[in-house]
Chains A and B, each alone.
Chain A
């Protein structure tokens, strides 16, 4: 079943009245429960594509459909995870951050139920015991995990991840990638993941969409069927890495 359809999407930016195309005629689908990576070098429009899917910006032409519905503005059925660690509200504790959208939308019939929901997702991202911490007391990786918990608690149709682990050290990134895959397995959530890190894309994705910086369109879509759990020294990993490296 198709969850997300990206149909002939083009987008340009204007600077000093000169048009700079970012995306030209992009087409692809994401299936329900799929984890798909968009990979490309910086400036190839991958973040723009994600922001269009989030509804933060609108395409110049073409359309993006979520379960057949055209996307026109941000909505809680598509939650964006940013690279920026500041996406948690610093004036709220971890628990309050996760509970805020639940309270606003009355998800769960009372505070106790919502608190239970929030705690369930916080333990899913291994943050139990940190409920009453303020964001400044958390490390970068913990902040991103708390943000993931906040997103999951809303049970969105799709998670839009904009290089959320790019600012983490290699070891933390490794752990959090594994955690994400664990969550994906547990919840069956659909994930659209933007990265410029080839290794990250191969480690987590089922398919990899490679954007071409020069032609502004998709240069290749790779089916990634390497057996999990994936490690850089497993059979086929290196070949795929080289294949992608040549494409970028």
Chain B
């Protein structure tokens, strides 16, 4: 029943995608827009195929994904450490909450000029922006998650004699997992946007520029079909991460335990 529903949802989505592609093609053939600005579906398809087969698009995608994976991991570890230490010390928590309140509303991309001055334009600068985009929403969500753990879980942990490490592993993290996952989703979305923007501005360093640079470059050469191909890959990666990876993690954890609906 459940898989049927998922399949039908997928097919339903696919149906509307086909409709949109059809409309695109009709508009393109009608010649309302300049073909250079609005390439036909086959042109985009061939651009996508050739850049995939030449390996350039895959290389840039992997470069971007590697950066974001690294950034997310660093941000995640940072946020969880801040939240756990904050959970133990009230004053430390006050400090980190204040810093988070200041840093959280600041878009990563707004920090770019400053980061260029401090760190130049290499991969480290992009990594910094990603970590910044991830760590604050994640920390804030974890903090809320830790605070909303029912008192009874803490008392049972005390009672059965869990030490701090075991309490974190067996109680605090699983109990606040719905909040943590929500934080990871927000962090991912922010980081992904920040990454693409930063790559476009920084350009290629050492021959690698990532997806952002890839589409920016296509614009420079007026290769609009290639540009759309790049956008297509960005969309596919976004859908894959949000609908497949996150969905799967939820199914294996919070949905399985019914700690979220």
Contacts and interface: CB of A to CB of B under 8 A. Distances in A.
Interface stretch (A87-95, A206-214, A234-242): A87-95
Interface of A: 54, 56, 73-76, 78-80, 82, 84, 86-87, 89-92, 100-101, 104-105, 134, 136, 150, 154
B160 A154 contact: yes
A56 B253 contact: no
Contacts of A92: 170
A100 B160 contact: yes
Interface stretch (B45-53, B105-113, B147-155, B232-240): B147-155
Contact of A82 (B152, B174, B259): B152
Chain B at the A interface: mostly helix, strand, loop or mixed?
Answer: helix
B161 A56 contact: no
B155 A80 contact: yes
Contact of A87 (B152, B161, B166, B256): B152
Nearest to A80: B159
A86 B150 contact: yes
A74 B166 contact: no
A72 to B, nearest CB: 12
B150 A54 contact: no
Interface in B212-244: none
B177 interface: yes
Given A80-B159, A104-B160, A154-B160, A86 B152 contact: yes
B103 interface: no
Contacts of B253: 91
B158 A56 contact: yes
A105 B166 CA distance: 11
22 contacts: A74-B158, A74-B159, A74-B161, A76-B160, A76-B161, A79-B159, A80-B155, A80-B156, A82-B152, A82-B156, A86-B150, A86-B153, A89-B171, A89-B174, A91-B174, A91-B253, A92-B170, A100-B170, A101-B160, A104-B160, A104-B161, A134-B257
Closest 7 pairs between A and B when the two form their complex, measured CB to CB: A91-B174, A136-B258, A101-B160, A74-B158, A76-B161, A91-B257, A74-B159
B175 interface: yes
A87 B156 contact: yes
Nearest to A84: B152
Contacts of A56: 155, 158
A200 B253 CA distance: 39
B162 interface: yes
A87 to B, nearest CB: 6
A81 to B, nearest CB: 10
Contacts of A54: 159
